[in-house]
Amino acid sequence: MTETYNFRPRIGVLALQGDFEAHLKMLAELGAEGIAIRLPEHLDKLHGIIIPGGESTTIGKLMVVYDLREPLQQKLREGIPVWGTCAGLILLAKETDNALAGQPLLASMDIRVRRNAFGSQRESFETDLTVPALGEAPFHTFFIRGPLIETVGPEVEVLATLDDGTIVAAREGNLLGTAFHPEVSGDTRFHQYFLRIVEGVNR
């Protein structure tokens, strides 16, 4: 018997600052419903959450101002799939080497990150990554003052490294973290990968 399967994932994208529009556009392209999260009530009935790149200090502060930090942490405790890209990865990490004193974080994923690890804006770069979980074709992507992942806990799967072994993408259960910006690559495979995690939880 063939399974009929009409699940349309509703994915919230934290829309306080940063590159949220590009994520919403990719989600629309993939047929998912994208919701811009600006208020706590926008977290209702979501199947997954994306925390975009931008400036983690600013996003963190705004998260507190808009009363979103607590409810986001509650969602994380409930096990909702969450994907952090770049600044979003910093916010998701349990540890950062140089978070500004008092920088509000979500502190959920068992990784330690180093902010601005590749230098200033001018040292931003593009590269072709090998990401076995996405198939054979390399994933062309952009590092824009991104962090790197220094260490990962025992339950964390490394999804991609640079040629020198630097970890730049990882997964821990329903949590996904990427140090770069897949939403500006034109390649939807990382978004599809996240949607598969979401579908797995909602089957």
Catalytic residues, by residue number, are 86, 181, 183
Cα gap 163→106, rounded to integer Å:
30
Q: Give which of 37, 81, 101, 71 is closest to 177, Cα–Cα.
A: 81
Nearer Cβ to ligand GLN (33/55): 55
Residues 6 or more apart whose Cβ sits within 8 Å of residue 127: 140, 141, 143, 162
Nearer Cβ to ligand GLN (18/71): 18
Binding mask 99-118 for ligand GLN (x = CB under 6 A): ----------------xx--
68, 87, 113, 184: which one binds ligand GLN (CB under 6 A): 87
The piece of 85-93, 105-113, 163-171, 182-190 that touches ligand GLN (CB under 6 A) is 85-93
The piece of 40-48, 100-108, 138-146, 169-177 that touches ligand GLN (CB under 6 A) is 138-146
Cα gap 92→115, rounded to integer Å:
13
How far lies 132's CA from each of 15, 17, 33, 47, 129, in Å? 30, 31, 27, 25, 9
Query: Rounded to the nearest 10 degrees, how much is the dihedral formed by the CA atoms of 116, 53, 100, 152?
Result: -70
Rounded to a whole number of angstroms, the minimum distance from the CB of residue 58 to ligand GLN is: 8
Binding mask 24-63 for ligand GLN (x = CB under 6 A): -----------------------------xxxx-------
Nearer Cβ to ligand GLN (9/82): 82
Q: Euclidean distance between the first and final Cα of the chain, in Å?
A: 17
71, 146, 177, 182: which one binds ligand GLN (CB under 6 A): 146
Q: Give which of 48, 81, 193 is closest to 129, Cα–Cα.
A: 193
177 touches ligand GLN by CB under 6 A: no
Cα gap 6→131, rounded to integer Å:
28
- The footprint of ligand GLN (CB under 6 A) covers 53-56, 86-87, 90, 115-116, 144-146
